[in-house]
Amino acid sequence: MGVYRLLLALLVAVSHMGVTFMGFNPGVVAVVSFLIISGFVMTSLIERTYKTPGQIGLFYMDRLLRLYPQFLVYFVLSCAVIHFLLPGTPQAAALTLENITTSLPIVPLGFYMFGITVPEILPPGWSLGLEMCFYLLIPFLILYKARGIAFAVSVTVFMLASLGYLDTDIYGYRLLPGVLFIFLCGSYLYRVRAKGLWIVSVTLLVAALMFLSIVVGIIPRRPFNAEVTLGIALGLPAVFLLSKLKHHRLDEFLGNISYGVFLNHFVVMYVLRAFWPVEYNALIITAVLVLSFALSGVSYYGVERPALKLRHALRSGVKSAATQAPVGSTVA
C-alpha cells in the first residue's frame, strides 16, 4: 500500500493549495483512506505483537516512536520558518508559548475547534491528534472484544452529524466518536472473517448511497459529508484489494516517504510564500510536491530510520519475552 499512501499524502498536499476535483476536496477523501489503513495496520500490529493487556504500554511507545520523531522535526522547522520568514502573518501570531506547549503532545491538535490549540503552525497535525486518540483506544477494543459496540456507537454519531443533528464537520470528520467506525472498518479487513466482511460491505453500500443522495440533493450537503462518504466508498475496496498484494521494496520505500510528505508540505509552502508570494498555479504546486518529496527522503533516512530500528528492537523484545514466558503468564 506504499504507492497508495504516497498518493493520499499528495492529495492532501494539493488540497491545501486549493485544488479540488469536481467540487470535492481530495484531501478529505484521502484522510478517510488513511483512517482505514490505520485501522488495518494497528490491528495487525496488536494481534501479531502486542497481544496482552500488559503490553499496551509498549504499544503506545511503539506508536510514539512512529509519529513523534518526524512530527517534532517538522514542527520545530515550521516554527523557525514562520518566525524568520513570515512575520506579521496569522501563522506568526500563532507562535505563542501556550500554542507551542499544547501542540507538542500532538493529541490536543485534534481539538483545535474547541480553542485548545491552533492549527496554523503545522496544519496537518490535527489529524495526528485524531490518530493518537485512536491509538489510545484500539488495544482495549481488540483485546476486550469491544469493537462491535464501539462501531455501533460511532455510526450513530456519524449519522447524526451527516444529517445535521450534530456539527457535521466536527462530529462527522474531525473527532473520534464520529469516525471511529471508519478506523474499525480497516480493523475488520485484517484477516477478514465473514462477520467483518459483512460489516464492511454494508458500510460501503450505505456510504455509496449516502454520497449519491448528497450529490443529487436528497441529503443536504454539509461540510465534508460528501467527501467523507466518498472516501469510505472508495477507500474500503482499495485497502481490501491492496492488502492482498505482495510487498515490494519500491512500494515500501514510497510508503515510508509518504509520512514526511504529509507533514512537511506546509513547511515548503511557507518558504515559497515568503520568497514567491503568488497564487498556486501548476508550476508552484509541482515545485511544492517535488521539494516536499525530497525533504521527506532526507527526514526518513535521517530521522525515521533510526526510530524504526528502535521500534523493531522493541517488537523483537516483546516477542522474545512472550516465547520465554511460562504458559498462562502475562508479559508486561
Segment 177-231, tens digit of pLDDT:
999 999 999 999 999 999 999 999 999 999 999 999 999 999 999 999 999 999 9
Lowest mean pLDDT among 65-69, 172-176, 246-250, 320-324: 320-324
Give me the pLDDT at residue 118, please. Answer: 86
Integer CA distances (angstroms), 120 to 117, 124, 329, in order:
9, 9, 48
Give me the pLDDT at residue 314, please. Answer: 87
Number of domains forming the structure of the chain:
1
CA of residue 80 relative to chain centroid, distance: 25
Closest CA to 260 of 291, 285, 238: 291
Where is 106: in which H helix or E strand? Answer: none
Average pLDDT over residues 9-18: 97
**What is the Cα–Cα distance from 286 to 280, expressed in whole angstroms?**
9
What amino acid occupies position 70?
A: Q
- By percentage, how much of the chain surpasses pLDDT 70? 97
Average pLDDT over residues 288-309: 95
- Is 90 exceeded by the pLDDT of residue 278? no
Average pLDDT over residues 297-302: 96
**What is the Cα–Cα distance from 276 to 14, expressed in whole angstroms?**
17
Contact at 8 Å (CB) between 229 and 210?
yes
Give me the pLDDT at residue 283, please. Answer: 92
- List phi, psi (to 5°) of 24: -105, 145
Give me the pLDDT at residue 316, please. Answer: 85
- Is 60 exceeded by the pLDDT of residue 326? no
Give me the pLDDT at residue 248, please. Answer: 83
- Is 50 exceeded by the pLDDT of residue 329? no
pLDDT tens-place string over residues 63-80: 999 999 999 999 999 999
**What is the Cα–Cα distance from 153 to 142, expressed in whole angstroms?**
16
Residue 84 in domain: yes
Average pLDDT of the chain is 93
Task: Determine the 3-state secondary structure of 157 from DSSP.
Answer: helix
Residue 329 in domain: no
pLDDT tens-place string over residues 86-95: 999 999 999 9
- Is 80 exceeded by the pLDDT of residue 321? no
Helical segments of the chain, H only: 2-15, 26-48, 56-85, 90-93, 97-103, 125-143, 147-162, 168-169, 176-189, 194-216, 225-242, 249-275, 282-299, 305-324
Residue 205 in domain: yes
Residues in the chain: 332
Q: Residue 195 corresponds to which cell in the numbers above? A: 462477520
**What domain range includes position 277?**
1-318
**What is the Cα–Cα distance from 136 to 61, expressed in whole angstroms?**
11
Residue 312 in domain: yes
- Is 60 exceeded by the pLDDT of residue 332? no
Residue 157 in domain: yes
Residue 165 in domain: yes
Give me the pLDDT at residue 38, please. Answer: 98
